[in-house]
Amino acid sequence: MGIAGADDAGVYRIADDLALVQTVDFFTPIVDDARDWGRVAAANALSDVYAMGGTPLTALQIVGWPRDRLPFDLLGDVLDGGTAVLAEANCTLVGGHSIDDPEPKYGLAVTGLVRPDELMTNAAVAPGDVLVLTKPIGTGVISTAIKAGTCPADVSTAAVASMTALNAPASDAARRAGVRAATDVTGFGLLGHLGEMLLASGLDADLDSRAVPLLPGALTLAESGAVSGGTRRNLKAAEGMVDFGTLDGPMRTLLADAQTSGGLLLAVPQDRVDGLLAYLVGNDVPAAVIGAARPAAPHREARIRLR
């Protein structure tokens, strides 16, 4: 596979019935606790493999560390958090690389395996497919508030729990249900990543903003103005593809909120939705039906219609 479809990971076929899935992701701290940062970064990197329908196999750590300003014991906490999540995913750490960097950075390059007939991509959405989201949104406004020192402790705790939860059960459920179109919701926000799927598939969509699940406290923080530069850029980009109707500002912000380690956005054939949801609920995955894909309307800029 090439890069034209903006998929979450690269795929390289090595046999008729087997392909490699490869991805890399790293970022600066978004939470206060070093171990939690490592956990979030690892879950976030693994998510790209899950979004393609793959199973993580090995990982390489990527570290930038200000050796003269921050103790190595603190870095040890970051690495401990990352390796704990890798162990949960049965993904083997095989090495990595570090550099002296004025700003701390951590992440992973992950390699996984996928069966080509189970591969999930951006471009496989079909008209009438139901849109299912497997995690609530709002991590962007919450992490912005954490950095500003204005985030309530219980809101931060709920966000960290969401960001460190692996998308493995959701990916497994999607494969079982025969889903072939998926992405994970990360830096471009829900609207941006849905837009990528629609563009790659040549479709439009209806999105029910009232059905989109939110993390506790996220709406209040959006109302207070805890909005990152990335989210503001996402909102600007959404203007050309989204009919917001009468939707208010804070909810618009959350739909474009730049996420970290968000859930999977699945496009599911209608006759398979009930089976998928039953499996997700049975495995404690907080899934929600949030809309549906439809044939592209001619001569319209907006591809996503909100209500």
The answer on 174 and 109 residing in a single domain is no
163 in the same domain as 111: no
Q: What percent of the chain has pLDDT over 90?
A: 92
Give the structural domain span for 85: 1-119
Whether residues 252 and 105 fall in one domain: no
Between CA 185 and CA 218 the distance in angstroms is: 16
Q: In terms of domains, do 48 and 10 share one?
A: yes
How far, in Å, CA of 243 to CA of 245, rounded?
6
* Residue % of the chain over a pLDDT of 70: 97
The answer to whether residues 47 and 175 belong to one domain is no
Whether 84 and 200 share a structural domain: no
Same structural domain for residues 106 and 160? no
Number of structural domains, the chain? 2
Residue 190 DSSP SS3 = helix
pTM for the predicted model, two decimal places: 0.95
Instruction: Name the pLDDT band for 209 (thresholds 50, 70, 90).
Output: very high
Interval 226-280: pLDDT, tens? 999 999 999 999 988 999 988 989 999 999 999 999 999 999 999 999 999 999 9
pLDDT of residue 12 exceeding 90, the answer is yes
**Same domain assignment for residues 44 and 4:** yes
Based on the fold, state whether residues 167 and 185 are members of the same structural domain: yes
Examine the fold and report which residue of 97, 119, 141 is the final residue of a domain before the chain moves on.
Answer: 119
pLDDT digits (tens, 9 = 90+) for 13-54: 999 999 999 999 999 999 999 999 999 999 999 999 999 999
For residues 236 and 160, the answer to whether their CB atoms sit within 8 Å is no
65 and 173 inside one domain: no
The pLDDT tens digits for 146-199 are: 999 999 999 999 999 999 999 999 999 999 999 999 999 999 999 999 999 999
- Whether residues 225 and 305 share a domain: the answer is yes
Rounded distance between C-alpha atoms, residue 119 and residue 86, angstroms: 22
User: Residue 20 sits in a domain of what CATH number?
Assistant: 3.30.1330.10
Q: What is the pLDDT of residue 307?
A: 83
